[in-house]
Amino acid sequence: MSQAQVKQDPTNQVIIFDTTLRDGEQSPGCSMNLDEKLRIAHLLDEMGVDVIEAGFPIASQGDWEAVNEIAKVLKHATVCGLSRATKKDIEASASALEPAEKKRIHTFISTSPLHMKYKLQMTPEAVLESVAEGVTFARGFTDDVEWSAEDGSRTEADFLCQCVETAIKCGATTINIPDTVGYAVPEEYAAQIKMLMDRVPNIDKARLSVHCHNDLGLAVANSLAGVQAGARQIECTINGIGERAGNTALEEIVMAMRTRSDVAPFHNNIQTEMLTRASKTLSTTVGFNVQPNKAIVGANAFAHESGIHQDGMLKNAQTYEIMTPESVGLTKSELVLGKHSGRHALKDKLKELGYEIGDNAFQDLFKRFKDLADKKKEIFDDDIIALIDDEVGRGHERIQFKSLQIVAGTNGPQTADMCAFVDGEEKCVKVEGNGPVDAIFKAIRAIEPHPDAHLQLYQVSAITGGTDAQAEVTVRLEEDGKTVTGQGADADTLVSSARAYIHALNKLMTKRLKSKPE
Ligand code: KIV
Ligand code: ZN
């Protein structure tokens, strides 16, 4: 069936529910600050995501605020907040979602024998009562209520049917069956969805949803099987981030539906041409590099290395390419600008790449662009994106990088001579270290002491090819169990390292302020 035919039938519509900012964000190393969450939420909204699960408002003041801010600004998507089955949780979601044009409260409770006995220490009767109470209470705030059976895939059929029927009777309009521990296999998961479609008498009053974890690498396959069995909502995350091995990857499930509409005749609202941008933005934001051979968005996903494949590709691209690079937004990294390009050219390029930035940020960006153009002859789209990620939104940060001189090489001691502004006051230090990176990080510690923070990750990658490529550095710091990730980009790897560390430290200081008791 062609995509056009598939689109004509509304029963083929699959809702894309993105939980990058909730299930994704709660996994280790993926935490984001408010600005970062807003940037991702705007991107998801623009890309056509139907429902954005923006956080778990009861979890912390920061989570509540993020859901609330996202609820204020989104133009198209429904904004969703997660809650357990308690009144306090549901009230927190309801208050955070108050400004949203379209809002959904998502409430859940475990239903498997294992979870009820050991985690909840509740009888099935008490759980069933909680389902009814939670959904009824949530319906007092909005007509759009989702109920999830946590560990649903390991729940006994009769009890699951009872819970689902009760949730729908009390007003749930979406019923989600998570494979919380990534244990299911496709045939089994599809059979469970079909069983609910066949046995729950009021199932026609709700939409069934799939939510799969990737512990066995089956999240996308399970989600697709669930949809083929009757589910019409898929919960997923960009790059598949999420608890443990992650969730269903949005880009993979969406492209599976687009590419194989002959066997999976379903449509959704995602503009697939934005998938590459969404993946890159998220990976630079959380500092999680995508593996090179990852489906759809990995660096090698459209690379043809072997002679036989290249020969076939030249004769007819379809010999080895089942989808076009353009369909996922991958364009050849075009040579865009050089040292003679002016403000106008940079503005046009930003527009083409889909960025809107304020005047002050643009002036700073233009200066960085000119500095880069002095060092690097050819500037590509990816260079510009890295500069934006490094520059925009940092003007108000407490510590601002100023300058760095390094002594490195075999004849040590390796030394960092560094200046930065702390709350507007210039501080300069000269520090020795075991190598230049160690010296830089010690210099930053001397400028702004933070003895309780530990370096968890230091990662360098080249943004484009060539020895003059910009280096993109990611630094992750941990303090009191809280982690933050910073990024820096520059043609000089050591300057990028300093920028990335300072970015992480600024985030840590903001986090400390937010977690201080009133
Ligand atoms: O995996 C899971 O069970 C969840 C629920 C809270 C929906 O994320
Ligand atoms: Zn989950």
- Residues 92-146: tens digit of each pLDDT: 999 999 999 999 999 999 999 999 999 999 999 999 999 999 999 999 999 999 9
Tell me the mean pLDDT in the region 26-40: 88
- 379 and 388 in contact (C-beta within 8 Å)? no
Q: What is the edge-to-edge ordering of all strands in the sheet holding 399-407?
A: 399-407, 414-422, 425-433
Q: Is 237 helix (H, G, I), strand (E, B) or coil?
A: strand
- Among 20, 21, 23, 115, residue to substitute to test ligand 1 (most atoms within 8 Å of Cβ): 23
Q: How far apart are CA 445 and CA 501, in angstroms?
A: 10
Mean pLDDT computed over every residue of the chain: 91
pLDDT at 156: 98
Band (236; pLDDT cuts 50, 70, 90): very high
Determine the atom of ligand 1 nearest the C-alpha atom of 23: 8
Higher pLDDT residue, 472 or 266?
Answer: 266
pLDDT at 305: 63
Strand-pair category, 51-55 with 335-337: unpaired
- 231 and 16 in contact (C-beta within 8 Å)? no
Q: Name the residue with tokens 């400004």.
A: 99
Share of the chain above pLDDT 70, in %: 95
| Cα 218 from chain centre | 20
Residue of 340, 350, 336 lying closest to 378 (CA atoms): 336
- CA 284-249-459 angle, 5° bins: 25
| Cα 431 from chain centre | 37
Q: Is 473 helix (H, G, I), strand (E, B) or coil?
A: strand
Amino acid in position 282: L
Class of domain 3-286: alpha beta
Ligand 2 is an ion; its neighbours by CB within 5 Å are 23
Which two structure tokens, joined as six digits, stand for 440?
């830089």
Which two structure tokens, joined as six digits, stand for 271?
């503009």
Amino acid in position 365: L
Check residue 360 and give left, alpha or beta (phi > 0: left; psi -120 to 50: alpha): alpha
Determine the atom of ligand 1 nearest the C-alpha atom of 213: 1
CA distances from 334 to 349, 492, 493 (A): 11, 22, 23
Higher pLDDT residue, 315 or 252?
Answer: 252
Residue of 253, 297, 256 lying closest to 274 (CA atoms): 297
Q: Which CATH architecture has domain 399-515?
A: 2-Layer Sandwich (3.30)
Please tell me the residue having the least CA distance from ligand 1 atom 8. 23
pLDDT for 3 beyond 80: no
What residues does ligand 1 touch, defined as CB less than 6 Å away? 23, 108, 148, 150, 178, 180, 211, 213
CA distances from 31 to 140, 241, 317, 477 (A): 31, 11, 40, 12
Q: How far apart are CA 479 and CA 511, in angstroms?
A: 10
pLDDT at 316: 80
Q: How far is the CA of 176 from the centre of ligand 1 (A)?
A: 9
- Please give the span between the terminal C-alpha atoms of the chain, in angstroms, as a whole number: 60
Lowest mean pLDDT among 51-60, 269-278, 352-361, 396-405: 352-361
Q: How far is the CA of 329 from the centre of ligand 2 (A)?
A: 28
- Among 211, 237, 243, residue to substitute to test ligand 1 (most atoms within 8 Å of Cβ): 211
Q: How far apart are CA 18 and CA 484, in angstroms?
A: 22
Q: How far is the CA of 101 from the centre of ligand 2 (A)?
A: 25
Q: How far is the CA of 24 from the centre of ligand 2 (A)?
A: 8
Band (336; pLDDT cuts 50, 70, 90): low
- Among 150, 212, 241, 243, residue to substitute to test ligand 1 (most atoms within 8 Å of Cβ): 150
Q: How far apart are CA 71 and CA 51, in angstroms?
A: 12
Q: How far apart are CA 223 and CA 231, in angstroms?
A: 9
Residues with Cβ within 8 Å of 9's Cβ and at least 6 positions away in sequence, in order, are 265
pLDDT for 477 beyond 60: yes
Lowest mean pLDDT among 120-134, 142-156, 419-433, 468-482: 468-482
Tell me how crowded residue 39 is: count the other CB atoms within 10 A of its CB: 17
Band (356; pLDDT cuts 50, 70, 90): confident
The pTM of this model reads: 0.84
pLDDT for 394 beyond 80: no
Which two structure tokens, joined as six digits, stand for 178?
């998570």
Determine the atom of ligand 1 nearest the C-alpha atom of 106: 7
Which two structure tokens, joined as six digits, stand for 432?
């020795």
Higher pLDDT residue, 201 or 314?
Answer: 201
Range 330-334 contact pairs with CB under 8 angstroms and sequence separation of 24 or more: 330/276, 330/302, 331/381, 333/380, 333/381, 333/382, 333/464, 334/380, 334/381
Q: How far apart are CA 170 and CA 334, in angstroms?
A: 55
Strand-pair category, 482-490 with 471-479: antiparallel
pLDDT at 88: 98
Check residue 32 and give left, alpha or beta (phi > 0: left; psi -120 to 50: alpha): beta
Tell me the mean pLDDT in the region 480-492: 86
Determine the atom of ligand 1 nearest the C-alpha atom of 152: 3
pLDDT at 518: 41
Q: Give bridge partners of residue 431 from the DSSP assignment.
A: 416
Tell me the mean pLDDT in the region 334-350: 80
Crossing angle of helices 493-515/61-73, nearest 10°?
110
Residue ranges in 200-247 assigned as alpha helix (H) = 219-228
Band (294; pLDDT cuts 50, 70, 90): very high
Q: How far is the CA of 82 from the centre of ligand 1 (A)?
A: 9
pLDDT for 309 beyond 80: no
